Amino acid sequence: MNDTILLAHGSGGKLSHDLVERKFLPLLANPLLDKLDDSAIFEANGRLAFTTDSYVVNPIFFPGGDIGRLAVCGTVNDLSMNGAKPLYLSLSVIIEEGLLMADLEHIVRSIKAAADEAQVNIITGDTKIVNRGQADKLFITTSGIGIIPAGIDISGANAKAGDRVILSGTIGDHGIAIMSQREGLRFETLLESDCAPLNKLVAQIVEACPNTHCLRDPTRGGLATTLNEFAKQSNVGIAVEEDKIPVKKEVKAACELLGLDPIYVANEGKLVAIVEPGDANKVLTQMKQNCYGRDAAIIGEVTNEHTGRVIMKTRLGPSRIIDMLSGELLPRIC
């Protein structure tokens, strides 16, 4: 019989303790977590950034990652996008009874690997078990605290006319990798999710250019949505060129087949940086030195025209508005 999660693992009694002590603590151990008090206590000086996010991805394992890696990277990236250096994460897991113990172990190992890569510690956590059908295998919530170095002011509202827009790499990898695994839509692809912690890339950017105006990771809603957020928050126009946006050929092919536009497809390891024109090449060079910024490119600029709107020069030459994603991405019918 397969070893699975039972409702009793959430009883608060011995089985609950066993679960935490055997499956979580040995891997995630660090001095703050190991105290096992009701809350973790630590000191921090300076401006703090605080964020939270929940992860309900289906399927929980996908090419290039799983829900555990995603839950760490997502929160690390949210902190990083304000220039914060991530310090600590919390980890809250809701498990559906019947989840294979081996699957849980696999996910905790990826949480550990991602946290190590990002050099953050998980210092507090919780597990709950729910009846079959009340969750879909496993839901994870992570919160994170980071510290913002002095002199850094990064916000979506800081873009100025003339600024350059830099994208850290190819778009759509995560969304297409997930879609390729979805029930009913399975297709063969060698494509992997780009799920990655971007804090080191951000540290390099900020070191090269402390005056970085905006940073954001284009997750759900894709590049188009992030650019629109910048345009609205900063009350500027943004003009990009379709030909300059890096897209892997597998992603392009899948998008053509499904009738999707890669600028709306989700990413989990990419960022958009907006910097002054004089800083653009410096930042680009730095980004290219990081493994998560190898394919970085300047894709456009910020303008005084068409404020609040994003315009894209299409591959054929004419320009069109690109709006935020509305509704869900759905494959075409005919």
Shortest reach from residue 258's CB to another protein, in Å:
9
Q: How far is the CB of 63 from another protein (least distance, A)?
A: 18
Give the Å distances, CA to CA, from 264 to 70, 220, 221, 224, 257: 19, 8, 5, 6, 15
Give the list of residues 6+ apart from residue 308 with CB closer than 8 angstroms, or none: 231, 232, 235, 236, 237
Question: In the bound complex, what is the minimum distance in angstroms from residue 209's beta carbon to another protein?
Answer: 32
Which is closer to another protein, CB of 89 or CB of 266? Answer: 266
Is-contact 98 212, C-beta < 8 A?
no
**Torsion angles phi and psi, residue 262, rounded to 5:** -55, -25
Q: How far is CA 249 from the centre of its chain?
A: 22
Cβ distance to another protein smaller for residue 124 or 170: 170
Indicate the helix (H) or strand (E) that contains 105: helix 101-118
Query: Is the CA virtual torsion 113, 119, 122, 123 positive or negative?
Result: positive
Q: In whole angstroms, how close is the CB of 126 to another protein at the nearest point?
A: 30
Token pair 């696999």 is at which residue? 106
Judge whether 121 and 32 are in contact, CB under 8 Å.
yes
Facing residues of 313 across strands? Answer: 241, 319
Contacting positions for another protein (CB under 8 A): 183-185, 243, 249, 252-253, 256-257, 259, 261, 306, 309, 311, 314-323, 326-328, 330-334
Nearer to another protein, 297 or 312 (CB): 312
Side-chain-side CA neighbours of residue 316 (13 Å):
3
Min dist CB 295 to another protein, Å, is 17
Q: Which is nearer to another protein, 45 or 332 (CB)?
A: 332
Q: Report the residue number, 241 or 276, with the smaller CB distance to another protein.
A: 241
| Complex with another protein: residue 133 or 332, whichever CB lies closer | 332
**DSSP secondary structure string for all residues of 18-33:** HHIIIIIHHHH--HHH
Q: Which is nearer to another protein, 20 or 253 (CB)?
A: 253
In the complex, the smallest distance separating the C-beta of residue 298 from another protein, rounded to whole angstroms, is 19
